[in-house]
Amino acid sequence: MELKIIGLFAIILAAVFLLSSVKTGKLAGTGEGIKYTGIMCYKVNNRPEVCSHNTYTNLGKNITRDRLGWAVGAPITAIGVGNGTAVAATDVVLNSEINECGLSRGTAGTVSIVQTSTGNFSAQKVFSVTCSAPKVNTTGLYNATSGNFLWAGDTISPEVTNLANGDTLTITWYVWST
C-alpha cells in the first residue's frame, strides 16, 4: 500500500511539473524556440546607411501568433515614418506618424526572402520627399497601409532633419527568426 501511494505521488508530481512547463511554453531540458531579431537601416540620398535594432511590439507578437496559428492577416510589408517618441512594446501605431510630403505609410517597394539564410526577409521602401519635411525620428513596420497594425518600430538616430523637395529617404527592415 505504501509503495502504491509513493508511486501515485511521483506520477502526480511529474504531471504537475510537465503541465507547469507547458503552460509557460517551455519544457524542461529544451532551449529551442522561435526567436525574433530585427534590424532597421536608413539612409538619406547617398549618405552612409545607419542601422539599429528595433522594438517588437506586443501587437506584433500577436500578429505573428495569428499568422503562425491560423494563417490570417496581411503580410508585414508596410513601412511608415514618424516624428514622435520612441516606440514602446505597447504601441499599435507610430506616435506622430507623418502622412504628408511623400512620407506617408505605404507598401514596401521591395520585399525579399534572404536566400542565403533560413527564416529571413527584408522589406524596403524609398520615400520621395515632396516638400520641406519635418524631422523624421521613428519608423514602423506594419501589416497594413492604414490603421493600428504596428508590428515593430525603431528610433532613427541620429534623427533625419532638413529633408527637402527631391530628397529620398530609404528605410530597410531586416527580420529573421531562429
Residue range 91-120: average pLDDT?
88
Residue 144 CA to residue 86 CA, distance in Å, equals 21
* Predicted pLDDT of residue 133: 76
* Predicted pLDDT of residue 71: 64
Q: Can you spell out the DSSP letters for 56-116?
A: E-HHHHHHHHHHHHH--S--S-EEEEESSSPP-TT-SS-TTB--STT---EE-SEEEE-TT
Q: Is pLDDT at 4 greater than 50 in this prediction?
A: no
* Predicted pLDDT of residue 136: 96
Residue range 73-92: average pLDDT?
91
Buried b (16+ CB within 10 A) or exposed e, 114-146: eeeeeebbbbbbebebeeebbebbbbbbbbbee
Residue range 81-88: average pLDDT?
95
pTM of full prediction above 0.85: no
- Measured in whole angstroms, how far is the alpha carbon of residue 141 from the centre of its chain? 6
36 Cβ partners below 8 Å, 6+ apart? 56, 64, 175, 177
Q: Is pLDDT at 19 greater than 90 in this prediction?
A: no
Q: Is pLDDT at 17 greater than 50 in this prediction?
A: no
Q: Is pLDDT at 33 greater than 80 in this prediction?
A: no
SS3 content of the chain, % helix, strand, coil (to 5): 20, 35, 45
- Give per-residue pLDDT as tens, 35-52: 778 899 999 999 999 999
Q: Is pLDDT at 101 greater than 90 in this prediction?
A: yes
Is the model more confident about 65 or about 154? 154
Q: Is-contact 114 172, C-beta < 8 A?
A: no
Give the amino acid at 174: Y
Is the model more confident about 41 or about 29? 41
> For 23-32, 87-96, 120-129, which range has the lowest pLDDT when averaged over its residues?
23-32
- Give per-residue pLDDT as tens, 118-131: 778 889 999 999 99
